[in-house]
Amino acid sequence: MNAKVFNLFLLVVWLVVLVGILTREAWMSPEMLDKMNGQHTSLVVAVVAMLCLWNFARFFVAYKLSRPPDPTGRETMRADIRRKFGNDPKVTDPEFNFDDPPPEPRP
């Protein structure tokens, strides 16, 4: 399991918990709602929201880092060079000369 899938899974889990806490008045019975509402309920909501945002940020970073590089970047650079100079530049070693005969092998 790679980082994208794991962070997406955790994001969904925390998002479900957050939605469940925020909509608890709609689906909880009044007795359970009285037990659930306490002095630290807002802290729990804030922590769950922070964890949801944290996993979203990690998913976003993992998604951006694993994306392959733009394949057209190299071609645009080559097109700029061709436009300026007319063709691809040739990279050669100035000390290498095809006209010289190869050296004689040593016995």
* Token pair of 53 as six digits: 């945002």
Q: What is the pLDDT of residue 64?
A: 77
Residue ranges per domain, the chain? 3-83
CB 76 within 8 A of CB 45: no
Q: What would you measure as the largest C-alpha separation in the chain, in angstroms?
A: 101
Q: Is the pLDDT of residue 95 over 80?
A: no
pLDDT of residue 103: 73
Contact status, residue 33 vs residue 25, Cβ threshold 8 Å: yes
Taking a C-beta distance cutoff of 8 angstroms, is the pair 4, 66 a contact?
yes
Tell the residue number behind the tokens 């359970």, with chain if given. 32
Q: Considering the entire predicted model, what is its pTM? A: 0.57
Percentage of residues in the chain having pLDDT higher than 90: 26
Q: What is the dihedral of CA 81, 75, 73, 94, to 10 degrees?
A: -50
- How does pLDDT run across 40-88, given as a tens digit for each residue? 989 999 999 999 999 999 888 887 776 666 677 777 877 887 888 777 6
